[in-house]
Amino acid sequence: MRLPDEADIPAQINIVPMIDVIFAILTFFIMSTLFLTRQEGLPVNLPQASTSQQSQVPTKITVTVEANGNISLNKQATTVDVLAEQLRGMVGSNSNTIVVINADRKVEHGEIVTVMDQVRQVKGARLAIATQKP
């Protein structure tokens, strides 16, 4: 039952607080993305030079030694005897080359030392051994 003095009040949705919340969230995302950019130094105008070089990313060469003793150089099958010569051809005069040895844990220590010795014979090649976290 309805009381006679009760008027029909239409239902309303007040959207002003919702707009305030949306603008607050938008402001948060804009401000947080401004801090995501990583700067490596202060912004400056660099001088020009005809002999300048771009920052060099080291060349990566991968030597893989499988559990059965097969050796690959950048996914191409090879042998220990010609490994140093192939590496010399790939490294050339680039002194910023990293040779990564991926060896299966079941490979004998002596085989890995032989491969490392071949890599060390190449001038300009830096040696790295790939591992993974336990």
DSSP states along the chain = ---TT---PPP----HHHHHHHHHHHHHHHHHHHTS---SS----PPP-TT--PPPPPEEEEEEE-TTS-EEETTEEE-HHHHHHHHHHHHTT-S-EEEEEEE-TTS-HHHHHHHHHHHHTSTTEEEEE-----
Q: What is the pTM of this model?
A: 0.56
C-alpha span between 41 and 32 (Å, rounded)? 20
How does pLDDT run along the chain (134 residues), one tens digit per residue? 555 556 677 777 888 888 999 999 999 999 888 877 665 565 666 677 777 665 566 778 888 888 888 888 888 888 888 888 888 888 877 777 888 888 888 888 888 899 889 888 888 788 888 877 77
User: Which residue segments constitute the domains of the chain, with CATH numbers given?
Assistant: 59-129 (3.30.420.270)
